[in-house]
C-alpha cells in the first residue's frame, strides 16, 4: 500500500489541531525565562527519551546518557549534527520505521499544487537553507502546527490586545513566495485557505510575472502581505507608481536578509509597519516587532545555542559563526544540536518575556535580470530542490538562460531537469530560454569565506575560489 494519503483529510486535522493549540501558543508568548526553562527541560527529556528508544542514529549518540535527570546545561556534552550527516543517515534518524528516505522523496516528487501527506500523519518539506545543501524534513501534524503558528501568533496577539481588527471576516494574508508546497512558504496557504478559519493564507507564486502578481494582489485586497524582501521592494515600487492599489495594515518579510536599503524601500512604498520573520524548515522561527531589526524566537519550541566555528558558546553581543538547534517538538525526525549556518547576535532579554532575542545575518537573493525582466532565484531553486539526486548547485546566468552545475553523488540523467528549468524560466517570462545542466563532483567556493555563490548574475566576476 502506498505511503501517500489524500490531502483534504490531513488539512482538516491540521485545522482542528491548530484551533485547539492556538490559545496555549499565544499564552507562551508572555512566559518568563523561568517558565520557559521549566518547559524546555521537560520537553527536552521527552525528546531525548523518544530519540534514544526509536532512532538508531540517536540511540548510539545517547548511549549512557541519563535522560530522566538531563538538565539544560548538559546539552553541550552531546555531539552536534550537520545537515550532510543527517541526510546520509536519514532512515536511521526517523523514529517511525514506516518512514524512509525513499518514500519521503516519492511524496516530494509527487507534490504539485498540494502537499502529499505520508500515512495520513506526516508532511515532508525540502529546503536548501542558508547552507544551500538540499535537506528533507518530516513532521507530524502537531509539530507542524506548533512550528508554523510561531510566525503568525505575534500578529494574532496584537489584534487580540486592541490593534485594529481586520476590515471583514478572517485575517487575509497574501503570501508572495514559493510556488511549490515542498517549500514552507507555499505549504502554509494550502493548509489555511480562505473560509477555513480566523486566518486565511492565499499563495501568490513569486515565479509569476510581476504584472500578474500585482493583479492578483489588487483582486485579493489582503490585510497583510508576506513575501521575500527583494520581491516586496519591487511591489513597493509598483505601489508608488500607482499600479499596485492595496493598502495592507502590515507587511511581513521572510526568507531573505532584510537589508537597511530594502527595509527603507518597502516601508516607504507601502506606508505600513514592516515586520521581519526568520523561518527555517527545521523549526526555528523568529518574528520582529514592527520596524525593529531584532527577532524574538520560539524558545518554547526550540533550544538555540550561539557558537563559534569550534561550536564553543559566544557571549551576548558577539556574532556567532553558526547556531545549534534542538527542536523540542519534532519527535519524528529529531534534530538535536543540529547545525544551522546562520549568524546570530544575542540581544538583551526583554522585561516582558524570556524568549531569545537576536539579530541575524543571512543572505539576500538578488534577482536575475534579462533586460527589463527580473526573475527571482526561487524560480530555479524550487525546481532544483525537488530533484533528490541534486545535493547542491550553482547557477550562472547567460545571455539567454542559465548554465547550472549540480553536485551529484552518482551518474544521473539531467535532461529532464534541464527541461524543467527551461519551462520554469519560460513561465516567468523569459522567451526561448536556453539551459544547460552539468553534473559535477565538486563545486567551487570562495577562497576567503568558503561559501558558495549559488547564483552568479550575467557579467559578474567570481572572486578567487577553491574547489570543495
pLDDT at 278 over 80: yes
Q: Over range 352-375, report the average pLDDT.
A: 86
Q: Over range 86-90, report the average pLDDT.
A: 95
Tell me the three cell numbers of residue 19: 484551533
Nearest to 353 by CA among 300, 303, 317: 300
Task: Please tell me the predicted confidence (pLDDT) of residue 287.
Answer: 95
Domains of the chain as residue ranges with CATH: 150-288 (3.40.50.980), 368-467 (3.30.300.30)
Binned at pLDDT 50, 70 and 90, residue 365 comes out as low
Chain centroid offset of residue 160 CA: 27
Task: Please tell me the predicted confidence (pLDDT) of residue 169.
Answer: 53
Binned at pLDDT 50, 70 and 90, residue 441 comes out as confident
Task: Please tell me the predicted confidence (pLDDT) of residue 4.
Answer: 63
Q: Could you write out the three-class secondary structure of the chain?
A: CCCECCHHHHHHHHHHHHHHHHHHHHHHCCCCHHHHHHHHHHHHHHHHHHHHHHCHHHHHHCCCCCCCCCCHHHHHHCCCECHHHHHHCHHHHCCCCCCCHHHHHHHHHHCCCCCCCECCCEEEEEECCCCCCCEEEEEEHHHHHHHHHHHHHHHHHHHHCCCCCCCCCCEEEEEEECCCCCCHHHHHHHHCCCCCCCEEEEEEECCCCHHHHHHHHHHHCCCEEEECHHHHHHHHHHHHCCCCCCCCCEEEEECCCCCHHHHHHHHHHHCCCEEEEEECCCCCEEEECCCCCCEEECCCCEEEEEECCCCCECCCCCECCEEEEEECCCCCCCCCCEEECCEEEECCCCCCCCCCEEEEECCCCCCEEECCEEECCHHHHHHHHCCCCCCEEEEEEECCEEEEEEECCCCCCCHHHHHHHHHHHHHCCCCCCEEEEEEECCCEEECCCCCCCCEECCCCCCCCEEEC
Nearest to 202 by CA among 177, 181, 173: 173
Task: Please tell me the predicted confidence (pLDDT) of residue 347.
Answer: 97
Task: Please tell me the predicted confidence (pLDDT) of residue 467.
Answer: 39
Task: Please tell me the predicted confidence (pLDDT) of residue 387.
Answer: 82
Q: Over range 163-185, report the average pLDDT.
A: 72
Q: Could you write out the three-class secondary structure of 84-122?
A: HHHHHCHHHHCCCCCCCHHHHHHHHHHCCCCCCCECCCE
pLDDT at 21 over 50: yes
Q: Which are the contacts of 255, defined by CB distance < 8 A and separation ≥ 6?
A: 177, 185, 228, 279
Task: Please tell me the predicted confidence (pLDDT) of residue 385.
Answer: 76
Percent of the chain with pLDDT over 70: 89
pTM for the complete prediction?
Answer: 0.78
pLDDT at 353 over 90: yes
Q: Over range 234-251, report the average pLDDT.
A: 94
Of residues 393 and 241, more confidence is placed in 241
d(CA 122, CA 5): 10
Q: Render pLDDT for 110-135 as a digit per residue (tens, 0 to 9).
A: 888 889 999 989 999 988 655 556 78
Task: Please tell me the predicted confidence (pLDDT) of residue 186.
Answer: 80
Q: Share the mean pLDDT of the chain.
A: 87
pLDDT at 164 over 80: no
pLDDT at 297 over 90: yes
Q: Over range 22-47, report the average pLDDT.
A: 96
d(CA 347, CA 315): 10
Q: Over range 394-423, report the average pLDDT.
A: 90
Binned at pLDDT 50, 70 and 90, residue 361 comes out as confident
Amino acid at each position: 500500500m502506498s505511503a501517500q494519503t489524500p490531502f483534504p483529510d490531513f488539512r482538516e486535522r491540521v485545522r482542528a489541531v491548530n484551533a485547539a493549540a492556538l490559545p496555549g501558543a499565544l499564552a507562551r508568548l508572555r512566559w518568563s525565562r523561568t517558565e520557559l526553562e521549566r518547559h524546555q527541560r521537560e520537553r527536552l527529556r521527552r525528546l531525548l527519551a523518544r530519540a534514544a528508544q526509536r532512532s538508531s542514529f540517536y540511540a548510539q549518540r545517547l548511549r549512557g546518557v541519563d535522560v530522566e535527570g538531563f538538565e539544560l546545561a548538559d546539552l553541550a556534552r552531546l555531539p552536534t549534527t550537520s545537515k550532510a550527516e543527517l541526510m546520509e543517515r536519514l532512515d536511521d534518524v526517523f523514529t517511525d520505521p514506516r518512514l524512509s528516505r525513499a518514500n519521503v522523496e516519492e511524496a516530494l516528487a509527487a507534490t504539485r499544487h498540494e502537499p502529499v501527506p505520508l500515512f495520513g500523519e506526516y508532511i515532508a518539506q525540502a529546503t536548501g537553507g542558508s547552507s544551500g545543501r538540499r535537506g528533507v524534513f518530516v513532521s507530524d501534524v502537531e509539530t507542524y502546527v506548533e512550528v508554523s503558528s510561531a510566525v503568525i501568533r505575534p500578529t494574532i496577539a496584537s489584534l487580540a490586545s486592541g490593534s485594529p481588527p481586520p476590515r471583514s471576516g478572517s485575517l487575509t494574508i497574501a503570501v508572495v513566495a514559493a510556488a511549490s508546497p515542498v517549500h514552507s512558504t507555499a505549504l502554509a496557504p494550502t493548509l489555511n485557505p480562505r473560509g477555513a478559519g480566523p486566518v486565511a493564507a492565499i499563495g501568490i507564486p513569486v515565479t509569476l510575472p510581476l504584472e500578474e502578481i500585482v493583479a492578483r494582489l489588487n483582486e485579493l485586497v489582503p490585510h497583510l502581505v508576506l513575501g521575500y524582501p527583494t520581491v516586496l521592494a519591487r511591489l513597493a515600487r509598483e505601489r508608488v507608481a500607482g499600479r499596485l492599489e492595496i493598502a495592507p495594515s502590515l507587511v511581513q518579510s521572510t526568507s531573505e536578509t532584510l537589508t537597511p536599503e530594502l527595509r527603507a524601500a518597502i516601508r516607504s512604498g507601502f506606508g505600513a509597519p514592516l515586520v521581519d520573520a526568520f523561518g527555517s524548515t527545521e523549526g526555528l522561527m523568529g518574528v520582529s516587532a514592527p520596524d525593529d531589526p531584532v527577532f524574538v524566537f520560539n524558545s518554547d519550541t526550540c533550544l538555540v545555542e550561539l557558537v563559534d566555528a569550534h561550536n564553543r558558546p559566544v557571549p551576548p553581543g558577539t556574532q556567532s559563526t553558526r547556531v545549534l538547534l534542538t527542536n523540542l517538538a519534532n519527535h519524528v525526525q529529531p534534530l538535536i544540536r543540529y547545525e544551522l549556518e546562520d549568524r546570530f547576535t544575542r540581544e538583551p532579554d526583554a522585561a516582558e518575556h524570556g524568549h531569545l532575542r537576536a539579530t541575524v545575518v543571512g543572505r539576500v537573493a538578488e534577482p536575475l535580470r534579462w533586460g527589463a525582466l527580473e526573475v527571482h532565484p526561487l524560480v530555479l531553486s524550487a525546481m532544483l530542490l525537488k530533484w533528490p539526486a541534486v545535493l547542491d548547485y550553482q547557477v550562472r546566468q547567460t545571455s539567454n538562460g542559465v548554465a547550472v552545475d549540480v553536485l551529484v553523488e552518482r551518474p544521473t540523467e539531467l535532461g529532464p531537469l534541464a527541461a524543467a528549468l527551461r519551462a520554469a524560466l519560460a513561465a516567468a517570462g523569459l522567451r526561448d530560454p536556453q539551459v544547460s545542466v552539468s553534473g559535477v563532483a565538486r563545486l567551487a567556493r570562495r577562497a576567503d569565506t568558503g561559501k558558495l555563490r549559488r547564483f552568479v548574475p550575467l557579467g559578474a566576476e567570481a572572486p578567487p575560489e577553491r574547489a570543495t
